[in-house]
Amino acid sequence: MEITVGLALILAFVAGFAYYARRFMGAPFIERAIIMAPLTGLIMGDLKTGLLIGGTLELVFMGATAIGGSVPPNIPVGAVIGTAFAISAGLTLEEALVIAVPVALLGSLCELLAKTASTIFVNAAEKYAEKGNSRGISLMVHLGNIAHGLSTAIPVFIALVLGQDAVAAASSALPESIRTGITVAGKILPALGFGILLSTLASPAFIPWFFIGFAIAAYAGWGVLGVSFVGIMAAAFYVAQKGGLSSLTSGAKGKVDQYSVVSKKDQAQMFWRSFALQSAFSFDRMQALGFTWTLMPFLQKIYKGSKEFSASLKRHLSFFNTNPWIVGPIVAIVAELESKRAENPEEVDEQSIQAVKGSLMGPLAGIGDSMIQGTLVPIMGGVASSLALQGNPIAPVLFFLVINVAHFWIRWNTLSVSFKFGTRFFEEIDQSSMSRLLEGATIAGLMGIGGLVGTWLNIKTPVVYTIQDASITLQTMLDGIMPKVLPLLATLAVYFGIKKGLKNTQVLLIILIVGGVLGALKILG
């Protein structure tokens, strides 16, 4: 199938929109490969290829998420380009991966560019803030977000239009041995994702859970869903043994609601606007513009005089960064403080508002990043991937729904509970329950990764020894000792490489070279 200019435009729009949504729609994780690749497949009339590439690519990038303003691989660029070329040039799954992964890593330059460009919009917004011009600020929010979307859409468009002939020519001209090499490298690639995730998720005490998950999958062949089920039960058992979760929020229960000076209508408005927190994300001030935009109509309402309004905008345009889903508590507490300040400037000074923001944003980012980007997204990604790899079209839908139901629930509850109880909720939340919850999630997550390694990583050796007429297949011998031992070794190799300080790109290069050579020599295949 040929990629026409029209088709390239549509696909570029899809990739760009995914990035735009990350900025303006509350980080719904639609830019993940498990959604982007099947969507590309659907548009090009080959959903099955999309599902296979999406499932595998999701595993490769399992551990790669944006934390704290760092720039992750650009997954939509890789997933859309990889899938589109796979369908247009009839590439194999592995060949598509070998294109998609480096492209995604290169694609992080797009975000770098957008974040740099956005500093201009934030600076302009500051000028508008001085005049109390809320329209101007809104305009900068939208321009910044469009810039972020275009930074992904334009490279996708150019690559699709200019690249397809080269890809088709290259794929037909490649000699057999290089093709086998690419295939083997492609099969090893998911080990990159498993190894990265292992290095972030596994503290030494929890590592055995990874091996338990692996063993259930490798020896008993239970599959990822079976292993995940056992993992969740193991986590529940562990949490119960350690004392359960009942005391998690006991501190805040049974107390009279704090009277919130912020009306329900204003609360709802802040909830919806808080989806735009990552708007015009810039290097120097990150979520400052998005946070300002979230509170802007409320500030305009309470500070009737334009001078105070302008001052409040300016103070919120200073550096801000927290987890995009769990900004609610900060919004709520700042709104309360601002409305008190509007009534009596003597009671609440500027510094104390800044201090609250500064003191809450770091810890909330830590809690949110490790629960959401570090645990929920990879676990759901793993489950959805294993469905996608079986060709089940429900996979991307399930991923989207579970993630975003959790998204709405967390965003709404953290906001509304903070309007009710103020900071008291966080002062009285029971830490040991909280860490038990995270420990349980870590156990389930590690077992899930073990299950994925033992199920979906397909590294084998075709080596056959002949000793006195009897031929021994090395793989059969290995299987007799430990099935899937090569996938396990590959994952552990990546894990130790990263622990020793190798960067993801370096590990990727090593996999491509080692896999390519061993494949071409027919040692792996």
Partner 1 sequence: MRVVFTRVDERLIHGQITIGWTNLTGTRLIMAVNDQVAGNSLQRNLLKMAAKPGVQVEILTMEEAKKKISEDAWDNTPVMVLVKNPIDLLALIKAGLKIGKVNVGGVRQPDASIVLTKEVKATEAELEAWKEIARLGYTIEVQFVPDQSITSLNKVLERF
| Binding region for partner 1 (CB under 8 A) | 67-71, 199-206, 283-284, 318-319, 321, 323, 354, 358-370, 373-374, 423, 426-427, 429, 431, 434-436, 438-439, 442, 498-499, 501, 503-504
Q: Where are the beta strands (DSSP E) in 431-494?
A: 464-467, 470-473
Q: Which is nearer to partner 1, 229 or 319 (CB)?
A: 319
| Cβ count within 10 A of residue 252 | 16
Q: What are phi and psi of 101, to 5 degrees?
A: -65, -55
Q: Which is nearer to partner 1, 171 or 373 (CB)?
A: 373
Q: What are phi and psi of 470, to 5 degrees?
A: -90, 125
Query: Measured from the CB of residue 212, what is the shortest distance to partner 1 in angstroms?
Result: 18
Query: Measured from the CB of residue 226, what is the shortest distance to partner 1 in angstroms?
Result: 26
Query: Measured from the CB of residue 128, what is the shortest distance to partner 1 in angstroms?
Result: 20
| Cβ count within 10 A of residue 328 | 24
Q: Which is nearer to partner 1, 264 or 499 (CB)?
A: 499
User: Radius of gyration over alpha carbons of the chain, in Å?
Assistant: 25
Q: CA-CA distance, 138 to 313, in Å (whole number)?
A: 12
Residue 190 in tokens: 């998911």
Q: CA 390 → CA 94, 189, 223, 284, 394, distances in Å?
A: 16, 19, 11, 44, 11
Q: CA 498 → CA 63, 196, 283, 416, 505, distances in Å?
A: 12, 7, 26, 40, 11
Q: Which is nearer to partner 1, 82 or 440 (CB)?
A: 440
User: Is residue 390 classed as helix, strand or coil in its secondary structure?
Assistant: coil
Q: CA-CA distance, 429 to 433, in Å (whole number)?
A: 8
Q: Which is nearer to partner 1, 33 or 330 (CB)?
A: 330
Query: Measured from the CB of residue 9, what is the shortest distance to partner 1 in angstroms?
Result: 33
Q: Which is nearer to partner 1, 68 or 221 (CB)?
A: 68
Q: Which is nearer to partner 1, 205 or 467 (CB)?
A: 205
Q: Which is nearer to partner 1, 211 or 319 (CB)?
A: 319
Residue type, 221: G
Query: Measured from the CB of residue 119, what is the shortest distance to partner 1 in angstroms?
Result: 9
Query: Measured from the CB of residue 328, what is the shortest distance to partner 1 in angstroms?
Result: 14
Contacts of 255 (CB under 8 A, 6+ apart): 421, 424
Residue 492 in tokens: 């552990």
Q: Which is nearer to partner 1, 205 or 256 (CB)?
A: 205
Query: Measured from the CB of residue 349, what is the shortest distance to partner 1 in angstroms?
Result: 13
Query: Measured from the CB of residue 161, what is the shortest distance to partner 1 in angstroms?
Result: 31
Query: Measured from the CB of residue 155, what is the shortest distance to partner 1 in angstroms?
Result: 21
DSSP 248: T
How far is C-alpha 441 from the chain's CA centre?
17
